[in-house]
Amino acid sequence: MPSLATMASSILPRSSLLPSRHLRSVRAFPSSFQSCLRFSLSRSACVASSSYSTVAADRSRVDISRESIDSLMEVVHAAAKRGAEVVMEAVDKPRNIDYKGKTDLVTDTDKRCELAILELVNSKCPDHLILGEEGGVSGDSSSPFLWCIDPLDGTTNFAHGYPSFAVSIGVLYKGRPLAASVVEFSGGPYCWITRTFTASAGGGAFCNGNKICVSNSDTIEKSLFVTGFGYEHDEPWSTNIELFKEFTDISRGVRRLGAAAVDMCHVALGIAEAYWEYRLKPWDMAAGVLMVEEAGGIVTRMDGGDFTVFDRSVLVSNGHLHDKLLKIIAPPSKLLIQKGFDFSRWYKPEGYALDF
Ligand code: IPD
Ligand code: CA
Ligand code: CA
């Protein structure tokens, strides 16, 4: 198989790419703000001790050079930026809403954003495989690269003008997250702002170019959590309502913001300690899980098993709390499996090969 270096040099003309320092050059906050929130921790402080070996974390088997990953990152970054421009153009205008289900919305902005992203990805990486939330699978299924694109994560929030939505793009290599960018929208009507999260395998996680790190909290009582609830209101949904209740009782609180990619970036940023949800899709998770791991956190399924983006549950944490959280979250999750709820992998494009 050709290396990414070879592929990248043919598909990514150097002249059309941003200089790699561009990704790390933007400073959004004064350094005093960062240090006050412990954001300036060194990378070595970003490695959580854990007995978990998540699939995405095993970098030893990624046979790609750093330079090639950086070239790919430039395209991922440019694609997320392009998507964010489409969303920003629409954000204070009337919405055009359709329904995928009773409460599952889609707007014309979701669709236009995905098309803009696809145009860029197809022009730079024509032989990669793509899984977009709105457009489904396209491209070459024999490619080791799979782009998981959520053009608008948090569509309900976007439809209401409620802050917390994002453009989220994660690229897998043989099934493992390799490169990611999430552009988070916050603020609100007439004062929208964005911040950009980026991460690459073995290269760390960044927010507006600043290296980020999960929090140090190792006590549930002193922690803030985030979770989410899908559109299907059955037993797994009720199980998470119970978990929501229990953690609200024993922690500083559980937030429900409504955009999975943003929630995971908040764990990576160290402003929340953990996030979990049942039955997300690969496009909801591919970017966020890499962000958390590269910020020093841990990712598993909610029953404690090894995670892939095709799994139907995810628990991301700062690492220090992972065992304590699983003591509470794993038993009801295992019970759902015993009861016959389908937690097998889903949305893996036919023919796409995983190396695990
Ligand atoms: C949804 C959001 C939400 C989560 C749902 C997702 P969408 O994605 O991430 O936070 O709870 O499960 O489907 O539909 O807004 O892209
Ligand atoms: Ca989503
Ligand atoms: Ca979406």
In this structure, what is the dihedral angle of CA atoms 181, 186, 191, 194, given to the nearest 10 degrees? -20
Testing ligand 1's pocket by substitution, the residue of 114, 153, 275 carrying the most ligand atoms inside 8 A of its CB is 153
- Flag whether 153 is marked binding: yes
**Are residues 178 and 200 in contact, defined by beta-carbon separation less than 8 angstroms?**
yes
> For position 111, what pLDDT does the model report?
97
Domain boundaries, the chain: 4-26+47-210, 220-338
Q: Give the distance (Å) from ligand 1 centre to CA of residue 31.
A: 33
Distance CA 306, CA 301 (A): 6
Q: By three-state DSSP, how is residue 173 classified?
A: strand
At residue 65, φ and ψ (nearest 5 deg) are: -75, 160
- Flag whether 152 is marked binding: yes
Comparing 8 with 221, which gets the higher pLDDT? 221
Greatest mean pLDDT range, 33-47, 90-104, 146-160: 146-160
Q: Can you read off the two tokens belonging to residue 4? A: 């990414």
Q: By three-state DSSP, how is residue 199 classified?
A: strand
DSSP H or E run through 264: helix 260-269
Whether ligand 1 lies within 6 angstroms of the CB of 230 is answered as: yes
Residue pLDDT, tens place only, 46-77: 554 455 655 554 555 578 999 999 999 999 99
Testing ligand 1's pocket by substitution, the residue of 266, 280, 312, 346 carrying the most ligand atoms inside 8 A of its CB is 280
- Nearest atom (ligand 1) to Cα of 152: 16
**Among 24-38, 39-53, 267-281, the least confident range:** 24-38
Q: Can you read off the two tokens belonging to residue 296? A: 């020093």
Whether ligand 1 lies within 6 angstroms of the CB of 110 is answered as: no
pLDDT averaged over the chain? 87
Q: Give the distance (Å) from ligand 2 centre to CA of residue 85.
A: 18
Can you name the CATH fold of 4-26+47-210?
Answer: Fructose-1,6-Bisphosphatase; Chain A, domain 1 (3.30.540)
Whether ligand 1 lies within 6 angstroms of the CB of 226 is answered as: no
Comparing 25 with 61, which gets the higher pLDDT? 61
| pTM assigned to the model | 0.87
Vertex 172 angle, CA 168 and 174, to 5°: 165
At residue 244, φ and ψ (nearest 5 deg) are: -55, -45
Distance CA 33, CA 254 (A): 25
> For position 60, what pLDDT does the model report?
53
Nearest to 260 by CA among 116, 339, 157: 157
Q: Can you read off the two tokens belonging to residue 3? A: 């290396």
Q: How confident is the model at residue 104 (pLDDT cuts 50, 70, 90)?
A: confident
- Within 13 Å, how many C-alpha atoms sit on residue 354's CB side? 13
Residue pLDDT, tens place only, 307-344: 999 999 999 999 999 999 999 999 999 999 999 999 99
Distance CA 81, CA 166 (A): 11
> For position 62, what pLDDT does the model report?
72
Average pLDDT score over residue span 97-107: 90
CATH code of the domain made up of 220-338: 3.40.190.80
> For position 46, what pLDDT does the model report?
57
Nearest to 79 by CA among 132, 28, 42: 132
The backbone region for 45, taken as left when phi is positive above 0, alpha when psi lies in -120 to 50, beta otherwise, is: alpha
Q: Can you read off the two tokens belonging to residue 191? A: 């004062």
- Flag whether 120 is marked binding: no
Whether ligand 1 lies within 6 angstroms of the CB of 229 is answered as: yes
Whether ligand 1 lies within 6 angstroms of the CB of 74 is answered as: no
Give the position of tokens 């966020």.
Answer: 288
Average pLDDT score over residue span 242-254: 98
